Structure 1
Amino acid sequence: MYLLTRGRGEKKSNICKMEVRAPKRLKDWNVSPVLSLNPDHLRAAWRTSHPKSKRVGWPVAMGKKGILERLAEGPVIGDGSYVITLEKRGYVKAGPFTPEAAIEYPDAVRQLHRDFLRAGADVLQAFTFYSTDGKLSTSEGGKVFTSADLNQSACDIVWEVAKTKPDTLVCGGVSPTPCYTQGKGKAAVQKQFQNQCEIFVKNKVDFLLGEFFGHVEEAEWAIEAMKTCGMPVACTLRIGPRGDLDGVSAGECAVRMARAGCDIVGLNCSFDFHTELKTIKIMKDALAAEGLTPYLMTQPVGYHLPEVENSIVGYYDLPEYPLALEPRLLVRFDCREYARKAYELGVHYIGGCCGFEPYHMREVAEELAPERGGIRPPGADKNSNWGDALAESTITPHVAIRHTKEYWETVIPASGRPGGRLTNELVAYEGQLK
């Protein structure tokens, strides 16, 4: 900890506790080692010796603000895809999509957390998707993975990374359990969630998230279980404008979640951002009509999926799910459009789900930097904002002129695939849904 002074030998004043990383050369900062410092002077000194810090956010207050306080102040940037990204990198098996990598390949999970943090994420979610004992009841290669072991390892990994940037929030997540669709009842389902939550509480996560629920009833049960932990609760459904898998409307789903005690109501996965924003608008209007005011959250998939807007299940209806979706991938500037439209709609928690890579989330953070006090992501030093550094390219003159926002906003990317189609016919699964 350090105290910044007005000048060598001058009186110290207006002291406020903050936590910072020590500079490599103290003489560059004009500081003396004590247990407090003046934040205004610190920022001034840091910016004097590091001009780019006017655009890159740091240092941060010691007593970090919680998720609800931050949402009240403006946009919060979530992280992106873990399961699908780690599957692409060779650490998750497509099909089960379970998180054994938290034990088998901790370095892979750790690096992805680092990548999202550098991209500007305010929140890192522990890699605990599908990590209930009900989902992990099968063994792989003679190994048996327990929910307790996986959740603990995931918490250890995420905190190791989060502590490198002390204002980072850590989220513990629960997701659907087979107990629900197997009809084992509320007590059995909530027991699965409670087992996870006990580990999250022990590891002092900042808030809890229930995600990927197709049935609002199961989401309500998850919210009730999470609320007993005494911390903020977020919950997201994987639904579109038609509502949940039981035919409950999107608006009614939102109202039921809020009345169950959910502080942050939202959507994740299954649909692209165009559809997800239409759905969250329906939910927002329904909440307002009932006088309910939870914060709103969106974490769509990172693909263009126009065919599935009216599907009840989303992109699982596409013949190319899950192993041939790359031609549909959002380009980075699509993510700016998503971030801007979501925030203008009133969504304050803005993240991504399957397909959202760290570079996608970096563009979300860049787009919303003006609403965040001009704070750009830690990786801004290497980010060519709207391609501005392309002006320095010596490859060809054609590349060098592509350095403006106006250019990239008008480009329509092609897939380059011979005989490629704009859309595909859907596979009809609705009659098989439980």
Structure 2
Amino acid sequence: MPKSKGLMERIKDGETVIVAEGYIFAFEHLGYLKAGPFTPEVVVDHPELVRQMYKDFVRAGSDVVQAFTYYGHRNKFKLVGREDELEKQNRLALKLAREVADETGTLMCGDLSNTFVYQPGNEEAIATTKAMFKEQVEWAVDEGADFIVGETFGHLGEAMLATQAIKEYGKGVPAVITFGTHFSKYSKDGKVLTADDVEFNDALRRLVAAGADVVGFNCMSGPTSMLPLLESASKADIGVPIAALPVPYRTTMEEPNFTTIKDPVSGQRAFYTDLDCLLCSRTDIVKFAERCAQLKIPYVGLCCGNSPHYTRTLAETLGRVTEASKYSPDMSLHGFYGTNAGKVNTYYTKMTQDLPATKAMTAKE
């Protein structure tokens, strides 16, 4: 297909760019990735599955094929004893993403993530982090990335290093930099701070000053707990477009972080293996997309926990008709809840209407 317009050109033209993330959880759910280290080894072990998931997300409405290099950095691969395969993993993830993007006329981006190496004031840790970002940026540029994402940073300092690496080694490609809220702090006057004590709107402005082209938030917060941050950033004079990519989990203002939110039945921390009971509904995604549209946020997506049906819901709410829209739900055709069910399947319709739960719901309505 013809090469798509670039990221910043699309945003300048008033378009909303939809970005599907969430490969790590998706492959863990399929049994091809281990929870805990969460390393993207599936890229090397089963590249055909990664290619298919890229296509599935584009089919559902993503405008971007984000190369599966999240946690594909030297520290993570050393943890699982596969550091010697790191470059192979990165380049293969990027090549596959480039192929799918070219086939579908979408954009392709590289991806940097928090490193678990960075420590404020530790020069050795900072140097190591810089080196890790440098090699990933260079691989992304070599494989034709249209832009590069740096995401899930708790510290402004680490986000700055990612921004600087993209600016220095990215050969002019745009930089999208987003904060996670896993180490956020709350000041006495109610402001939300980064792990290194910088108010988030100020942190976003500092990233812009360092050269970031799009800034915002991803991961950790679900739609409910991310929206106040987005609303605040949208009102502030940040200087560049805002990005919004929450996790599709029902975090709250009382429990804003999906890594610490509790299972409502057991009362225990749900992360990771019991998060399923806290997934958002599709209606939750609709409401989030509508609010993002009202705020005129031009870079919107979903992070860990995402799947194609969520991305399709997001895209359709923003007015898109996707390839996967052919199979969007149509409950009017259902056997006993459908529009003509009472005329066609009277026996099963009556059985459904006689159920206690149905009677209770009807009475409530």
For Structure 1 versus Structure 2, the TM-score category normalised by the shorter chain is: 0.7 to 0.9
The offset of 1:81, in angstroms, is 1.1
CA contact under 8 A between 2:157 and 2:196: conserved in structure 1? no
CA distance in 2, matches of 1:111, 1:308: 38
Matched, 1:224 2:164: yes
Q: How many residues align?
A: 323
- Residue matched to 2:283: 333
- Residue matched to 1:148: 87
- Residue matched to 2:348: none
Root mean square deviation, CA, Å: 2.1
- Residue matched to 2:10: 70
The offset of 1:293, in angstroms, is 1.9
Please show how residues 410-425 of structure 1 align to structure 2 within 5 Å.
none
Amino acid at match of 2:249: Y
Q: 2:326 aligns with which of 366, 381, 388?
A: 381
SS in structure 1 of the partner of residue 96 of structure 2: helix
- Residue matched to 1:304: 250
After superposition, the C-alpha distances for 1:193-221 in whole angstroms (9 at most, x for unaligned) are 01001111111111000001010110011
CA distance in 2, matches of 1:152, 1:126: 9
Unaligned stretches of 5+ residues in structure 1: 1-18, 20-61, 370-374, 402-415, 417-434
Matched, 1:139 2:80: yes
SS in structure 1 of the partner of residue 215 of structure 2: strand
**Compared with structure 1, are the counterparts of its residues 113 and 280 closer, same or farther at alpha carbon in structure 2 (3 Å cutoff)?**
same
Matched, 1:115 2:56: yes
- Residue matched to 2:154: 214
Please show how residues 88-99 of structure 1 align to structure 2 within 5 Å.
88-99=29-40
CA contact under 8 A between 1:263 and 1:295: conserved in structure 2? yes
- Would you tell me which structure has more helix in proportion to its own residues? 2
CA distance in 1, matches of 2:131, 2:273: 34
CA distance in 2, matches of 1:254, 1:191: 23
CA distance in 1, matches of 2:206, 2:249: 29
Matched, 1:363 2:313: yes
**Compared with structure 1, are the counterparts of its residues 258 and 321 closer, same or farther at alpha carbon in structure 2 (3 Å cutoff)?**
same
**Which protein is bigger by CA-based radius of gyration?**
1
Amino acid at match of 1:337: K
After superposition, the C-alpha distances for 1:292-322 in whole angstroms (9 at most, x for unaligned) are 421110110111011555x6xx222230101
CA contact under 8 A between 1:174 and 1:211: conserved in structure 2? yes
CA contact under 8 A between 2:217 and 2:246: conserved in structure 1? yes
- Residue matched to 1:130: 71
Amino acid at match of 2:87: A
SS in structure 1 of the partner of residue 76 of structure 2: coil
Q: 1:295 aligns with which of 241, 248, 252?
A: 241
Matched, 1:256 2:206: yes
Q: 2:180 aligns with which of 220, 234, 238?
A: 238
CA distance in 2, matches of 1:128, 1:327: 28
SS in structure 2 of the partner of residue 181 of structure 1: coil
**Compared with structure 1, are the counterparts of its residues 247 and 104 closer, same or farther at alpha carbon in structure 2 (3 Å cutoff)?**
same
Larger mean CA deviation between 155-164 and 321-330 belongs to 155-164
Q: Aligned residues: percent identity?
A: 31
Unaligned stretches of 5+ residues in structure 2: 185-190, 262-268, 343-356, 358-365
- Residue matched to 1:42: none
CA distance in 2, matches of 1:66, 1:101: 29
Matched, 1:349 2:299: yes
CA distance in 2, matches of 1:234, 1:161: 21
CA distance in 1, matches of 2:328, 2:102: 24
CA distance in 2, matches of 1:254, 1:223: 11
SS in structure 2 of the partner of residue 247 of structure 1: coil
Amino acid at match of 1:263: D
Amino acid at match of 1:86: F
- Residue matched to 1:315: 258
- Residue matched to 1:188: 128
CA distance in 1, matches of 2:242, 2:226: 12
TM-score, normalisation: structure 1: 0.70
